[in-house]
Structure 1
């Protein structure tokens, strides 16, 4: 009988071991629960269980791309996916026998396989893989962030996800996933991924045409593709795999023997055999493994946006389903080529890139999109500056403020002071904000709105923003679909708002659509198997009115003035945007610290926004000027877009006319037959006292039938213009026109 002290010590040791095990299990349970909550969604594998057969077409039917799913880790599938029925049955069974013999029996985690591998190793046998096909799928897709980690976290997550993936997908779907994801080495300049690429690279065959011998050869390369480099040394592995397939009941012994005697000739090898199937000689032949090139995606950033919209509207399964979609898009190949060529030619500063988008001026359809500076022979980065870059817009916001002032009844001849200004500012040096004109220029008196916008003057713009009212301005920006800062202030009038080229182009679009805001669109029609799933004319959101046609015309006239009024020699900003025979409007924008440069330009056929800057932020050279770099890029782009189209003019709506402002003919609301005095004696611009007196008055378009403010429904012949004091404005309001009243001075 064991002595009592020894029994006591043994019980203490056992209790200690039990406590340690319990503690370890408890800690492990805590981590398992934690890691279990961090698991990615297995549904992200859906795209890979289906065939990538959706075709994206330009508006003229040109093929832009065949959609290829994105792996859960972020990489895009750059190959043809195959369905299980497109692979020879013995090729599937060879892979299963080689990589996971109990695949059809386990539920994603195979303790029997792990125990068998450990026992085999303990007996001095060779190491056999214990990882299931399901675990390999999970590791290579859902857990790519832990790739290469030999940790408990990866093993636990792999096991938990394996169980969930097995529950969600059938064995046939999992085999499809694995065969499309498996890595088979590297060919001529490209990775050999998936059985379709492997069969064509190593054997020159489609997967469905593989013989049993070829299938077994490919399966032996899966664990280590470098085995391809020594065919004779790899030959015994083929015999071993054939024997295991016989043992597992997948093939008969006679089939295995016939496959062994087949004179297999992998690409890049010249092999001689004897009658029994043994290798007599194996010699490498010149040349690398051939991998079929992946058809390039045309207009990749545009296609990226189309794909996102399709998935959002139809779901991933519909987009990537077998049979796929035929997607006709709004892209104009001529406009896209023009945008890409202009972007490639632009003399950008070192480290700078760009984003550009072109919309149809009539309906907002996206005609072209460039998200990165194109570089010959390189696939552009997926980051799309035309849509994803959110940058300060600088002075390109000013036309929106000036048009709001026109909407409230101020004319292009309205005067604001271009003199130094100091405003209270708690966070500014000295407690005040002293805005300056670009380049530090300071005027010394009143200027018209036309003059202020032509020269992009900041001081009159701030005063106009005060007069119009910041709440009204922010409300209008929101109407136009632009994002607002959390705490907007008067700097908004100088362009501290941040947005993308697409959003800014869309905000300018109402100038060419008669005041209608139209959401940019990418799709014309989507069909599947003869059934129409989407039709643009039926599925697009309806336009929303943000300006009356007359106000939009007045704003467009001011934008044309920026381009047409002044040459560069007299301070003009956008003379270089002029196009022979075409009417053009637009506005430059350069932030004060020269981080972002913009130009948004309008023609009767197209609206295009161009941004230049550094993708990760940072300063551009001080000599970068949007009136040169951006405008010339825009002009180059637009010349290509409009090539072959007859020049057009903007069509004025009813209820507008013209008058002289100095030596300029500017748009105004119609007042019936023109009065000679309007043209013979334009209002002079002289001293500040007269400017202040003028500011106390406002010229209103009135409906002569009721003496109230005219609106877009007032017939042109019933509109009359009257000058009234600002304080009397409420007397002319109607319930519908209340929102048109100007803000305080």
Structure 2
């Protein structure tokens, strides 16, 4: 023995390292309010301290693995002797006689090979570990390292995997079940082999009773308890798979494969309640569109086992449907169906089911291992799809739609179950905090499980009229006013680079003649947008719009820019709208707020460009002082170097960079005023349902109704909704941003702004309100009955009043409208 020790001792590792060992822990992603979104990593693990471990579990573990743990010095001499005697008598190694300390030595340092050399090394290591660590520290290492099946490493991960709870929430039977897993975690866990797992659990309970760790009554209750374990995937408190994937990619770029194992905790900017609202709003909107366009009547069938086929498989081809329906082996069939439904990914508002029987007033369906009633009233919408503009007749009876064994989707409503289907149409929601670009909610499609393409950040689509506010902003910054008159009349463009002559039209196909700029925006008149862009100049407009957050490479420097023909992502459009919502400042969207290591140390903290009105005021004050008295310049610079630096609106601890202004505050106010009219009286009127006075936005519909948009905001939240097909195709002749995307926006914003007080957009200095003539945009005449109020920059107020119609002159001429219209 001494010779073996002398031979192996130099090769033994330093057991002091165990005190600082880092267990492989998965990457976890959280919302801003600390709710788990997702975790990534091959090994699911949540380390616990000894003090956090329930004493009942410690007892169960010791009873099953090493009841003399607190008495021995690392090895169990009796156990080893028993193993040696068994080996000599049978020639086989039936038990290793390993203590928990020896298993720690093996798990942390050694391979799983079964050789005498490894066993001796394990024994020597166990002795060294006992000298270096306390019994509690050794147990702590064991319970966090041990593999317990289903990718679960450690007892806390096992509790989550098999019961969906913390180890601290489990009862005695459940604790004994986990304590019995180390012997055969893959072959005898309660998911893979419930019968064997039950036997092992009851063995653990019996050992606890023998050792008087539990009473006879506790043993009886626990031993009779049914198996309640089932597989629980990664526990998610907030369904946000597109967000989780965005974070995963970012973390892999930062840290490589270590991102999955080092135990990083990533806290995002996501507001969990807003994310839940966005999920529901988008799915509800897509499902409604899908119902409105008919039922595609999918006919996928679940496997049905008949009694005849079970006994004579060769009869399968000869049995009719009626034969099979009357002789179904229901226990075996339902077991198959249950497994089939459990394997289906979570689809949010709709859930899978299988038809059991079809009756005249509805159908019984199989779902969640039970029978449920689907009434015929929940199927009446399912008129057959003919094409995007036509649907067929209403079904007359349930059998027109359903048959036994058919796999279907159903939606839970307040009126009972509703037949559903996976929509072919797609969409996205992006919701940003305008003061700094923090992503509050994001949904990249109907279901991440069915399609992982993130339309919110990956889909370049034409925004149509939802882009017009940026064209109008450029116009207001270059001499136009909300009262400027532009002729909404036919226009033809001929270009050698175009195959055909371009004749743009309004969506309505009508022309409205001379129109005020404000009115043209809320009516979404295309020809007015083209004329004002031609007047401003496409290149000049691009230069103005790019700082809002649009990649210059995506902006067409031609007149098609006026109609939103430059494809952008929903995220890019929402970023541009942040400028409109926050007072005219450019911000960058961001998702990760901070990254922590497994010990809670902050490795990264976001410092986004943030709107700071106080900074701007103080900067303006500095500029005025510098112009007024040059001798104050040095003093001001010295102040900037100190803690009272006026260029920093944040506290010294925060030190957030100020967002740059890209839109003059007066131009911004005029634009907001016009966009609020889109909601009050234009294409965005559905938003009035929210009963708020601080909402503004713009609808968008592209050619042939291939894309439907609504981008809108309050001072606290910007949200963009896009709906369309992945392969661009018409949504139908009646689909527009106002009736397809806007209802989704209203649904979401109603929840997202619940409890958020209204915040008016403040009128800056240098803006005045005057009465004008609605036909000409000139100052109203005294006493004019149809005059309206309009906002102007002080220097842009019309200088002349309108000249009202007068009686004919003696020469037959008229003095009507002597001031010419502004026609562009």
Q: Same fold (TM over 0.5)?
A: yes
- The residue number in structure 2 matching 1:666 is 790
CA deviations on 1:181-211 (whole Å, 9 max, x unpaired) are 9799xxx9x999xxx99xx9xx96799x867
Report the CA distance between 1:292 and its aligned residue.
4.0
Equivalences for residues 542-621 of structure 1 within 5 A: 542-564=658-680, 566=681, 572-578=682-688, 579-621=690-732
Q: Give 1:520's match in structure 2, choosing from 578, 585, 589.
A: 589
1:458 equivalent in structure 2: 526
Residue of structure 1 aligned with 2:536, choices 468, 471, 477: 468
Q: Give the aligned partner of residue 52 of structure 1.
A: 26
Partner of 1:494: 563
Q: Flag the 1:267–1:620 CA change in 2: closer, same or farther, 3 A.
A: farther
| Counterpart in the other structure of 1:650 | 761
SS at match of 1:386: helix
Q: Could you give the per-residue CA deviations for residues 456-477 of structure 1, whole angstroms, max 9, x where no partner exists?
A: 1112222222211111222233
Contact kept in structure 1, 2:150 and 2:161, CA below 8 Å: no
Do the aligned residues in 2 keep the contact of 1:504 with 1:609 (CA within 8 Å)? Answer: yes
Quote the residue 2:605 is aligned against.
534
User: In the superposition, relative to structure 1, how do residues 543 and 96 fare at CA in structure 2: closer, same or farther (>3 Å)?
Assistant: closer
Any conservation in 2 of the 1:268–1:288 contact (CA below 8 Å)?
no
The corresponding residue for 2:277 is 338
Q: Is the 8 A contact 2:468 2:564 kept in 1?
A: yes
Structure 2 distance, partners of 1:334, 1:678, is: 53
Q: Is the 8 A contact 2:574 2:711 kept in 1?
A: yes
Alignment of 1:628-643 (within 5 A): 628-643=739-754
Give 1:510 deviation, angstroms: 1.3
In structure 1, the partner of 2:506 is 437
> TM-score when scaled to structure 2?
0.51
Of residues 26, 35, 40, the one that matches 1:64 is 35
Instruction: Name the residue aligned to 1:425.
Output: 495
Determine which of 185, 194, 200 is the counterpart of 1:265: 200
Counterpart of 2:464 (choices 394, 399, 416) is 394
Shift in alpha-carbon separation, 1:319–1:552, aligned structure 2, 3 A: farther
**Distance of aligned partners of 1:652 and 1:101 in 2 relative to their CA distance in 1, 3 Å threshold:** farther
Which string of whole-angstrom CA distances, capped at 9 and with x for unpartnered residues, describes residues 333-392 of structure 1? 443343333334322335223211222243333222233337xxx967543332233211
Query: In the TM superposition, what is the alpha-carbon distance from 1:664 to its structure 2 partner?
Result: 4.2
What CA distance in whole angstroms lies between the structure 2 residues aligned with 1:292 and 1:422? Answer: 63
Residues 27 and 262 in structure 2, CA contact (< 8 A), matched pair in contact too: yes
CA contact (8 A) 2:803 2:818 kept: no
| Partner SS, residue 609 of structure 1 | strand
Give a deviation string over 1:614-641, Cα, whole Å, max 9, x none. 2343321221121122222212222222
Distance change >3 Å, CA 266–CA 627, structure 1 → 2: same
Relative distance call for 1:332 and 1:420 in structure 2 (3 A) is same
Q: Give the deviation of 1:397 after TM superposition.
A: 0.7
How has the CA–CA distance of structure 1 residues 439 and 205 changed in structure 2, closer, same or farther, with 3 Å as cutoff? same
What is the CA deviation profile of residues 559-603 of structure 1, one whole-angstrom value per residue up to 9, with x for unaligned ones?
112222x3xxxxx31111123242321110011121110001122
Residues 471 and 191 (structure 1 numbering): CA distance in 2 closer, same or farther, change over 3 Å?
A: same
Structural mapping, 1:622-633, within 5 Å: 622-633=733-744
Any idea what SS the aligned residue of 2:589 has?
coil
- Matched ranges for 1:220-235 at <5 A: none
Matching residue within 184, 204, 207 for 1:217: 184
Residues 640 and 428 of structure 1: CA distance in aligned 2, closer, same or farther (over 3 Å): same
Q: 2:486 aligns with which of 413, 416, 424?
A: 416
User: What RMSD in Å do the two structures reach over aligned CA positions?
Assistant: 5.2
d(CA) in 2 for partners of 1:675, 1:616? 49
Q: Where does 1:284-433 land on structure 2 (aligned, <5 Å)? A: 290-301=230-241, 303-304=243-244, 307-308=247-248, 311=251, 315=255, 322=262, 324-325=264-265, 327=267, 329-346=268-285, 347-349=288-290, 350-373=423-446, 381-426=451-496, 428-429=498-499, 431-433=500-502
- CA 1:413 to 1:70, structure 2 compared with 1: closer, same or farther past 3 Å? farther
CA pair 292-508 structure 1, distance change in 2 beyond 3 A: closer
CA contact (8 A) 1:65 1:303 kept: no
Give the Cα separation in 2 of the matches to 1:406 and 1:395: 17
* Alpha-carbon distance, 1:89 to partner: 7.3
Q: Aligned in 2, Cα 1:324/1:404: closer, same or farther, shift over 3 Å?
A: same
Distance 1:353 1:535, change over 3 A: closer
User: Does the residue aligned with 2:546 lie in a helix, a strand or coil?
Assistant: helix
Partners of 1:324 and 1:421 lie apart in 2 by 59
- State the Cα distance separating 1:288 from its structure 2 match: 8.3
Runs of at least 5 residues in structure 2 that lack an aligned partner in the other structure:
1-21, 54-60, 62-99, 119-140, 208-224, 291-422, 608-649, 775-786, 806-815
Q: Residue 457 of structure 2 aligns to a residue in which SS?
A: coil
Q: 1:178 to 1:333 in 2, by over 3 A?
A: closer
Structure 1 residues 270 and 530 mapped into 2: Cα distance closer, same or farther (>3 Å)? closer
> How many residues end up aligned between the 2 structures?
503
Contact conserved, 1:52 with 1:66, CA < 8 A, in 2?
Answer: no
- Aligned to 2:671, the other structure's residue is in SS state helix
Inter-partner Cα distance in structure 1 for 2:514 and 2:817: 7
Q: Deviations over 1:44-72 (max 9, x none)?
A: xxxx98312645242xx3x322652267x
Contact persistence 1:268–1:286 (CA under 8 A): no
* C-alpha distance in 1 between matches for 2:667 and 2:284: 37
* Matched residue, 2:515: 447
Q: Structure 1 residues 206 and 325 mapped into 2: Cα distance closer, same or farther (>3 Å)?
A: farther
- Whether the 8 Å contact between 2:549 and 2:576 is mirrored in structure 1 is yes
| TM-score, normalised by the number of residues in structure 1 | 0.56
Distance, in Å, in 2 between the alignment partners of 1:90 and 1:383 is 49
Seen in structure 2, the aligned counterparts of structure 1 residues 402 and 55 have a Cα distance that, compared at 3 Å, is: closer
CA contact (8 A) 2:533 2:559 kept: yes
- Distance of 2:231 and 2:528 partners within structure 1: 64
Would you say 1:690 and 2:800 are equivalent positions?
no
Change (3 A) 1:297 1:541: farther
1:623 and 1:89 map into 2 onto residues whose CA distance is 72
Deviates more, 1:531-540 or 1:550-559: 531-540
Distance verdict in 2 for CA 1:323–1:550, change over 3 Å: same
Aligned to 2:546: 478
For 1:657 and 1:486, locate their aligned partners in 2 and report how far apart those are by CA, in whole Å: 34
Secondary structure of 1:475's counterpart equals helix
C-alpha spacing 1:522/1:680, structure 2 compared with 1 (3 Å): farther
